[in-house]
Every structure is written in structure tokens, then in C-alpha cells.
Chains A and B, each alone.
Chain A
Amino acid sequence: RKEVEQDPGPFNVPEGATVAFNCTYSNSASQSFFWYRQDCRKEPKLLMSVYSSGNEDGRFTAQLNRASQYISLLIRDSKLSDSATYLCVVNSRGNNRLAFGKGNQVVVIP
């Protein structure tokens, strides 16, 4: 089983709609969880950390489900500028070593 698994999509989303996707991780001892955003051919950038109680940053909401070993990202009121690949990131082998999922590609359609 891969360390971090994501459905690559693409997720075609009408502008203004809500989109949500999950990623699953294999190491039950993982302690750190993040969502990164990557635009085409550019470097990944931290979107948000994911906390046990769930957290929100504007139109973005992240949740962690430790029992089922998945994290989720929800984007409300999608904007054209939200079109990107969203990478699920988990530390799978102890401090500092982060494992990256292959990403969920989101395409927001006018």
C-alpha cells in the first residue's frame, strides 16, 4: 500500500461550486498532515496544515480522521484561481520526512 494515496482526478468544478476530496495514508503513527498547492510546472506551496480538530482558512476547510486514516480538503465558492493540483502530505517515517501524494487536480470552469 502506498504511503499516501489520492485520486488524481481531474475534478472539474463549476465556478462558485464546492469541491471536496480525500487522501488516505498508511502509517497510523503519522503526526503531521498538510495540504500543498502546486500550479503547473511550479513549486509546491503550503496551503494549510491539518489539525486534529479540523481547521478552516477562508474558503478552505481541512479535516483529519485518524480512525480511518484520511484527511480531506473542501473548497467552497470555487474561484478560477483555485485551479491547481492539491497535494496531500504526511510525515510517514518520523521527523521531517514528508511523503507526498500524487495530487488532486482541480479545474474550475467558468
Chain B
Amino acid sequence: EAQVTQNPRYLITVTGKKLTVTCSQNMNHEYMSWYRQDPGLGLRQIYYSMNVEVTDKGDVPEGYKVSRKEKRNFPLILESPSPNQTSLYFCASSLAGTGGGVSPSYTFGSGTRLTVV
């Protein structure tokens, strides 16, 4: 089954303790992205990757790191989590754009609910 898999689904951690949220897709998609979703703010992009070894900042990258060593995996790293990073996180992937500004749709993972205390 074509899917984006995130782990863990739920995580409670303490301030300052490094954590990684994994994301893996089995659709051979070039493009992968991380979003956070907060009440009243909608989905905001954290980082994205156009392909292996190519990553770039989204709208809210502060406090996060990513890597794209393999096409299928795009982990999100919080080196020193803080309470304001408590949120619902989604990983998404898509095929590369066809050019001319046309974007394919995204497939989302099931989400990771992170609480930092």
C-alpha cells in the first residue's frame, strides 16, 4: 500500500531532550515536507526537500533540523525541544513538479502529536 509512515504517533518529552520523528514513504516521491499544525494557525511548513541531499527552510524552521540521505526517509530532528514546539506534526510527500508552476498533490502521514513539558 502506498503510504507515508511517521513514528511515533504520540510523544511526550521534556524540555531540552533531543528527539527525532521519523518519516518514510514507499512511493518513490522526490519531494518531502514537514508541517506543524496548531489551533487557529493552520498548517505551516517547517522544512522541505526537493530530492536527496537537497533541503530548504519553510516558513517556521527555527528549532528544527532535517536530513535527506535517502529518497524514502526524511526525519525531523528537534535538538533541544521547547514547550512552544508542542504541536501536531505531519510529514508529506509528492512527485516532483512538472514545471511551469504546476504542483502535484501531497500524501500525508498520520501525524505525530508531540508534547514538550
Interface size on A, residues (CB 8 A): 23
Interface pair B108/A44, CB less than 8 Å apart: yes
On chain A, the residues within 8 Å of B40 by CB distance are: 102
Instruction: Please tell me if B43 contacts chain A, counting CB pairs below 8 Å.
Output: yes
Q: Given the known A-B contacts A95-B101, A96-B94, A102-B40, are A41 and B108 also in contact in the complex, defined by CB atoms under 8 Å?
A: no
Contact with B along A86-103 (1 / 0, CB 8 A): 010001001111101111
Q: Given the known A-B contacts A43-B90, A43-B108, A44-B108, are A95 and B42 also in contact in the complex, defined by CB atoms under 8 Å?
A: no
| A101 vs chain B, min Cβ distance (A) | 7
| B65 vs chain A, min Cβ distance (A) | 20
Assembled-state Cα–Cα distance A84/B38 (Å): 17
Instruction: Please tell me if A45 contacts chain B, counting CB pairs below 8 Å.
Output: yes
Assembled-state Cα–Cα distance A98/B31 (Å): 12
Interface pair B96/A42, CB less than 8 Å apart: no
Stretch touching chain B among A13-21, A24-32, A74-82 = A24-32
Interface pair A96/B50, CB less than 8 Å apart: yes
On chain B, the residues within 8 Å of A49 by CB distance are: 105
Q: What is B's interface to A at a CB cutoff of 8 Å?
A: 31, 33, 35, 40-43, 45, 48, 50, 88, 90, 94, 96-111, 113
Besides A31-B102, A102-B40, 7 other A-B contacts (C-beta < 8 A): A45-B108, A46-B106, A87-B43, A96-B48, A97-B103, A100-B43, A102-B42
